[in-house]
């Protein structure tokens, strides 16, 4: 049974003090995560160690970095390597978020290299894909997302892709309060799984957790997560509020 995951993406928000308060509020009552459910906290680099410490001894909870560099080490002032992230106990790395593709010009090839270096260093990528509004309006979102997967993931082996995590985040739904409908989310998630199945076989495709992202809130999470090919969510704004993110975690299948 593939994992059902509620992943927080704090983006560039919160001071350390605010972050620690948020975690204390979240864990004031123990989270109820079953065997196949996980909560993941995608936090800014400077907070990874502190938040990891807050999670110590708790079950099925993990930390994620929001990015890493695609080179091993060396003269890359200001960058953070996968090896460094692994050395501080990071579990996951969000790779290819649309904000990084757009504002930092991350190419398909660069994202493929980032995925590789994460895997080499024992980090689990959460690979993001999703179309902009113009592509959705043109009706070509399926082939657009398929191209994103092919360009950055299809060099991987079946073994490397087994148990992988992908987040489908339509750009027009991120931070806009406008979620994809249940039908739109299910349709794209099923398409992603079909594309993976055609390339890697049904067993690998069925092992991959496909998260939905884009204005997931406490009041719509259960509906979206109930779709058969939606295995949880990657959550921005609503992950900054303890009560809301708790409700989202409790909405996992």
Does position 231 bind ligand PGA by CB under 6 A?
A: no
Minimum CB separation of residue 203 from ligand PGA in Å reads 28
Nearer to ligand PGA, 5 or 204 (CB): 5
Would strands 209-213 and 61-65 be described as parallel, antiparallel, or unpaired? unpaired
- The closest of 212, 190, 211, 214 to 202, measured between CA atoms, is 190
23 token code pair: 């975690």
* Cα 38 from Cα 68, distance rounded (Å): 22
Minimum CB separation of residue 214 from ligand PGA in Å reads 5
Nearer to ligand PGA, 165 or 204 (CB): 165
Q: Considering 97, 131, 189, 191, which one is annotated as catalytic? A: 97
DSSP-derived secondary structure for 53-80? HHHTT-TTEEEEES---SSSSSS-TT--
Does position 249 bind ligand PGA by CB under 6 A?
A: no
Minimum CB separation of residue 121 from ligand PGA in Å reads 23
Site string for ligand PGA, 200-219 (x = CB under 6 A): -------------xxxx---
Given 237, 241, 247, 253, the residue binding ligand PGA (CB under 6 A): 237
Does position 38 bind ligand PGA by CB under 6 A?
A: no
Nearer to ligand PGA, 6 or 156 (CB): 6
* Cα 231 from Cα 218, distance rounded (Å): 16
155 as an active site residue: the answer is no
223 token code pair: 């509906």
Site string for ligand PGA, 163-182 (x = CB under 6 A): ------x----xx-------
What is the helix, strand, coil percentage profile of the chain, to 5?
45, 15, 40
Q: Closest-CB residue for ligand PGA?
A: 236
Given 9, 66, 81, 251, the residue binding ligand PGA (CB under 6 A): 9
CB 158 within 8 A of CB 220: no
Burial class (CB in 10 A: 0-12, 13-18, 19+), 152: buried
Distance of CA 252 to the CA centre of its chain: 15
Catalytic residues: 97, 169
Q: Which residues bind ligand PGA (CB under 6 A)?
A: 9, 169, 174-175, 213-216, 234-238
């Amino acid at each position: 049974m593939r994992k059902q995951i509620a992943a927080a993406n704090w983006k560039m928000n919160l001071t350390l003090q605010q972050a620690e308060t948020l975690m204390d509020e979240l864990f004031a009552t123990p989270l109820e995560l079953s065997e196949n459910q996980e909560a993941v906290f995608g936090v800014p680099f400077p907070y990874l160690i502190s938040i990891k410490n807050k999670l110590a001894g708790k079950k099925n909870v993990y930390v994620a970095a929001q990015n890493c560099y695609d080179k091993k080490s060396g003269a890359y002032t200001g960058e953070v390597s996968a090896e460094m992230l692994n050395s501080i106990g990071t579990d996951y790395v969000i790779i290819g978020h649309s904000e990084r593709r757009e504002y930092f010009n991350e190419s398909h090839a660069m994202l493929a290299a980032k995925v590789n270096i994460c895997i080499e260093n024992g980090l689990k990528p959460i690979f993001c894909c999703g179309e902009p509004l113009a592509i959705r309006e043109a009706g070509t979102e399926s082939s657009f997302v398929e191209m994103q997967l092919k360009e950055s993931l299809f060099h991987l082996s079946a073994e490397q892709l087994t148990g992988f995590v992908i987040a489908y985040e339509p750009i027009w739904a991120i931070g806009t309060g406008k979620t994809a409908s249940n039908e739109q989310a299910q349709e794209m998630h099923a398409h992603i799984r079909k594309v993976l199945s055609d390339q890697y076989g049904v067993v690998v495709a069925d092992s991959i957790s496909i998260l939905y992202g884009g204005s997931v809130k406490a009041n719509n999470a259960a509906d979206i997560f109930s779709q058969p090919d939606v295995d949880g969510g990657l959550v921005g704004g609503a992950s900054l509020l303890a009560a809301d993110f708790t409700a989202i975690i409790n909405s996992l299948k």
